[in-house]
Amino acid sequence: MHLGEVSAELGDAAAARPLLDEAAAIAASRGDVRTELRARSRLARALLDAGASEEAGALASAVLARGREHGLRSAQVRALHVLSRLAEEAGDQAEAVTLEAEAVRLVEAGAAPVEGVLSIHHLGHLTGSDDLLQEAAARVRARLEDLRDPELRRGYLAQAKVQEILADAGVPGDPAS
């Protein structure tokens, strides 16, 4: 699971796919719906990032349906984020906002504490809300403060999305520097 997530984060959807597919299959065989949906939603985001929009949409829709069926709010957040990005890509701004606003409501209720920042940031862009962009950056800074090990901090800060979130809020890279 984690190796697949790392591969996806590094932009290597081809390497991430078999790892995340296997993680989802193993989790499903064990009845671990939470881990299965986490793997499938991360694969959906990797596919979207790699330009496989149709496949990403089908996978995210399935994750959303199962997440709702099982009451798994974090899975719903992850799927809604992918679907929102797809709606934006298709030129449906209103649908993108609706989907991401639903995800942010779930995040504000405690779902997806780490990945939820992506939904807050995206909704900030979709709506032009500086408050949401600042909130996303504040959550990133809080995560940074929790990482005591310098190597972990550097790794987190090296992620393109983390840098983008901080830059969009006008925040310097490492508040501890």
Contact between residue 90 and residue 102 where contact means Cβ atoms under 8 Å apart:
no
Q: Cα–Cα distances in Å, from 49 out to 28, 46, 125?
A: 25, 5, 17
Domains present along the chain, CATH in parentheses: 2-100 (1.25.40.10)
Report residue 55 as tokens.
Answer: 């496949």
pLDDT number for residue 171: 84
- Smallest CA-to-CA distance from 25 within 13, 35, 15 is with 35
pLDDT tens figures, 77-106: 999 999 999 999 999 999 999 999 999 999
pLDDT tens figures, 2-54: 999 989 988 899 999 999 999 999 999 999 999 999 999 999 999 999 999 99
Contact between residue 169 and residue 137 where contact means Cβ atoms under 8 Å apart:
yes
pLDDT tens figures, 98-147: 999 999 999 999 999 989 999 999 999 999 999 999 999 999 999 999 99
